[in-house]
Amino acid sequence: MYRVTNGGVCAAAGYRANGVNCGLNSDKTKNDLGLYVSDVPAVTAGVYTTNKVKGAPILVTKAHLAENNGTARAVIMNSKNANTCNADGVEKAEAMCELAANALGLDKNDVLVASTGVIGQILPIEPISEHIGELAAGLTYDGNERAATAIMTTDTVKKEYAVEFELGGKLCRLGGMAKGSGMIHPNMATTLNFITTDAAISQELIQKALSDTVKVTYNCLSVDGDTSTNDTILLMANGLAGNAEITEENADYDVFKEALYIVMSELTKMLAKDGEGATKLLECAVSGAPDTDTAIIVAKSVIRSPLLKCAMFGEDANWGRVLCAIGYAEADFEIDKVDVDFRSKAGVLPVCRGGAGVPFSEEFAKVVLAEDEIFIDVSLNSGNAEAKAWGCDLTYDYVKINGDYRS
């Protein structure tokens, strides 16, 4: 039913994108200013950081969506500077929207804004104003990659994913892009994420679908325990696929929501695998939980454990660190029923049964944990609910990267 396709934020009909280097990044080979635009007004949903310190772009984006009754046409974004904790932050974010609006012939409220980079540094507007014409003129229906690279900071790879599916016999597409490598913690939204679709869906249901799906994807991601000030996810739907508008939670809504889950979960895994300094993708799958919330809490507790992350970097099957993280999870279950396995493409290593250790080969453990994708399977044996969380190992390079981040 769902087929992987290319195009990221340009996979769906009616979206153009571009990215350029405007000078915020001194490396002229790296884009630092991006823009994507829908040909027609798009119903838009958003979810944002829970950090009490919120970047000015979030304040402006929320205000513009409120003014426009939940619709938008374009998003402008930059890297290298978060435009956060600045006295003139809102003024600069509004200016970015106005520059884009003028270049596109839109109203300022039609444009949303997002920024990522260093916190507390004044954002120079001149480089953006000097290159906005070039940025707008270069918009194309296949410009997704240029936009995806414009939001990268310490990311080592761009992150894009898209699928196609059918609603009422109409071919629909949904795709997105994300950035994030550090300052990632499961606490609403996580990093910058932009998703577009040509499906038609009501404002109420697109927001519900996004909020529900965030809970089991981006909110189940942790790299380092820090929740960013600028975390934003925006989902736009322009209806150009021609399907009957989804206005109730019916079968079409379920199909749409599953497509959204596929894209968001794949982007979540890409974010986890590209954590700052990471060498391994970690996935904790919890099964046998009494309810979904318990499964999520336990999975997130394991994946965010610094000691567990270090053990995975060292390829050490120190399963006690898994039990420790399960034990301080704020949920009710019986610890003496818990089973734990380490798993990779090299095989499965049972390490705990009924809350107690079982004998295993240290040599085989090294083989299993030497792979670059490690799965930690936890069964609570207390019900039928399940959930997953994603993260990465904690390495020497993480400290190096963040020790001189501003330079």
Neighbours of 54 (CB within 10 A): 20
- The DSSP 8-state label assigned to residue 227 in this structure reads P
Whole-angstrom Cα distance, residue 76 to residue 96? 7
Whole-angstrom Cα distance, residue 214 to residue 217? 5
Annotated catalytic residue: which of 116, 154, 190, 294?
190
CA dihedral 234, 85, 60, 276 (to 10 degrees): -10
Pairing of strands 33-48, 71-78: antiparallel
**CA-based angle 156:195:201, to the nearest 5?**
170
Whole-angstrom Cα distance, residue 298 to residue 273? 20
Whole-angstrom Cα distance, residue 216 to residue 385? 13
Query: DSSP string spanning 306-343?
Result: HHHHHHHHTT---THHHHHHHHTSSS---GGG-EEEEE
Catalytic residue check, 84: no
Query: DSSP string spanning 367-397?
Result: HHHTSSEEEEEEE--S-SEEEEEEEE---HH
Checking phi first, is residue 7 left (phi over 0); if not, alpha (psi -120 to 50) or beta?
A: left
Sequence-distant (6+) residues with CB within 8 A of 130 are 22, 23
**CA-based angle 229:217:232, to the nearest 5?**
25
Place of tokens 């696929």: 241
Q: Which residues are catalytic?
A: 190
